[in-house]
C-alpha cells in the first residue's frame, strides 16, 4: 500500500517525543443479551490513518452449508452491508453473484447508493446540519447526556488500564491503518479489518 508521508503525533510541534497520548484504539465489544449473543462488535478509530472515513459495516455469517460447492465459492467474501456516514454518505451491499459463464463460479459484487450521485446535490457537511438543527431547536441528531455518560464509562475503564500499561500502548507509523495489535485482535477470531 502506498502511503502519503505525514508526520506522526510525536513529531508534531509542541508534543513531547515520548508522549503516551493515545491516538488509536481498536476494541472488541459484545452485548450481553440473547439477541446479540456471540456477535462481536469491532470498533477502531485513529488519527493519521490513510483515509478519513466514518462507516458501519455489518458482515454476515457464512451459511453452514456450501450450496454451490467449495470450488465455486473459493474467492467469495462474506456478504456485508456498509453504511458510509462520511465523507461519502451512502450504503454499499456486498454479496455473491453467479458469474455469467457456463461454469458455476460465484464472485463478490457491490451494489452502491451514494447520496451525491443519486440526488446530484452537495449535502451539507455534518457541522452545517447540526448548526441548523441547533438554530431550529431540533435535538434529533444530538447525543443525549445519558448516552455520553455511558460511552465515557466504557472508555474510562480502558484508559485506566492503558495508564497502568495493560496492554502496553502500541505505536504505529502515520499514514498506516494502525499498530499490529489491531490486526491481531481480529486475527484471533479469524477475521481481518475492512479497508475502506
pLDDT on residue 83: 93
Q: Is residue 69 a part of any domain in this protein?
A: yes
Q: How far apart are CA 22 and CA 144, in angstroms?
A: 25
Q: Are 30 and 66 in the same domain?
A: yes
pLDDT on residue 37: 87
Using H for helix, E for strand and C for coil, what is the string for the chain? CCCCCCCCHHHCCCCCCCCCCCCEEEEEEECCCCCCCCCEEEEEEECCCCCCCEEEEEECCCCCCCCCCCCCCCCCCCCEEEEEEECCCEEEEEEEEECCCCCCCEEEEEEEEEHHHHHCCCCCCHHHHHHHHHHHCCCCCCCCHHHHHHHHHHHHHHHHHHHCCCCCCCCCCCCCCCCHHHHHHHHCCCCCCCCC
Which grid cell sits at 166? 495493560
Kindly give the parts of the chain with pLDDT less than 70.
1-4, 63-74, 123, 126
The 10s digit of each residue's pLDDT in 116-153 is 888 877 767 767 888 888 899 998 888 899 999 998 99
Radius of gyration for the chain, computed over Cα atoms and rounded to the nearest angstrom: 21
Q: Are 69 and 143 in the same domain?
A: no
Q: Are 28 and 117 in the same domain?
A: yes
Q: Are 84 and 136 in the same domain?
A: no
Q: How far apart are CA 82 and CA 63, in angstroms?
A: 20
Q: Is residue 7 a part of any domain in this protein?
A: no
pLDDT on residue 38: 86
- Per the structure, the count of domains in the chain is 2
**158: domain range?**
124-167
Q: How far apart are CA 137 and CA 114, in angstroms?
A: 28
Q: Is residue 19 a part of any domain in this protein?
A: no
Amino acid at each position: 500500500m502506498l502511503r502519503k508521508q505525514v508526520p506522526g503525533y510525536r513529531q508534531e510541534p509542541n508534543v513531547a517525543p515520548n508522549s503516551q497520548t493515545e491516538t488509536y484504539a481498536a476494541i472488541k465489544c459484545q452485548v450481553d443479551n440473547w439477541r446479540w449473543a456471540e456477535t462481536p462488535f469491532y470498533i477502531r478509530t485513529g488519527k493519521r490513518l490513510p483515509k478519513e472515513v466514518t462507516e458501519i459495516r455489518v458482515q454476515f455469517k457464512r451459511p453452514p452449508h456450501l450450496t454451490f460447492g467449495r470450488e465455486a465459492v473459493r474467492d467469495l467474501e462474506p456478504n456485508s452491508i456498509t453504511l458510509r456516514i462520511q465523507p461519502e454518505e451512502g450504503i454499499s451491499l456486498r454479496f455473491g453473484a453467479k458469474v455469467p459463464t457456463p461454469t458455476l463460479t460465484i464472485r463478490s459484487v457491490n451494489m452502491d447508493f451514494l447520496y451525491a450521485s443519486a440526488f446530484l446535490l452537495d449535502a451539507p457537511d455534518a457541522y452545517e446540519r447540526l448548526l441548523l438543527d441547533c438554530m431550529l431547536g431540533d435535538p434529533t441528531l444530538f447525543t443525549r447526556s445519558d448516552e455520553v455518560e455511558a460511552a465515557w464509562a466504557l472508555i474510562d475503564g480502558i484508559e485506566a488500564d492503558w495508564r497502568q500499561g495493560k496492554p502496553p500502548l502500541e505505536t504505529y507509523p502515520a499514514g498506516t491503518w494502525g499498530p499490529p495489535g489491531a490486526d491481531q485482535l481480529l486475527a484471533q477470531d479469524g477475521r481481518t479489518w475492512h479497508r475502506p
